[in-house]
Amino acid sequence: MEISDLKVMICDDSLLARKNLRDGLKGLGCKNIVEVFDGQEAIDTYLKEKPDVVFLDIVMPVKDGITAAKEICEANPSAYIVMVSSVGTQVHLREAIKAGAKDFLQKPTTPEQIRNALEHISNSGGDD
């Protein structure tokens, strides 16, 4: 699957962080991008939209990203979740991986980080 064919969901309560990620994705050719604000919205939208990859913040209202990742992975164990956070401690990294995240990016993200994360999913087939 090509990067440009991926359906991508961005979940972050920060408008600026969503814009940064969206701009990076569009710069890589992604056209199908869904944006949500909090962890519960991420879960609900994931179940409805079934994106190929989810960029998920950790610290958010309603449900945090770790909880959202767990619930998304319970619904679909092959979900491809990339945690994106400014609180990149080892504890958070371990929690994210335990919750089912496949990758972890430190904010602010760079186009190169985004491309590397997407290349992993496009190389792994990206379908369920």
Asked if 19 and 45 touch (Cβ cutoff 8 Å), the reply is no
**How does pLDDT run across 24-73, given as a tens digit for each residue?**
999 999 999 999 999 999 999 999 999 999 999 999 999 999 999 999 99
Q: What pLDDT is stored for residue 88 in this prediction?
A: 63
Which letter does DSSP use for residue 5 in this model? G
**Does residue 84 register a pLDDT over 90?**
yes
Domains of the chain: 3-112+119-123 (3.40.50.2300)
pTM value? 0.92
- pLDDT-derived band at 125, boundaries 50, 70, 90: low
Residues in CB range of 75: below 8 A, 6 or more apart: 43, 46, 47
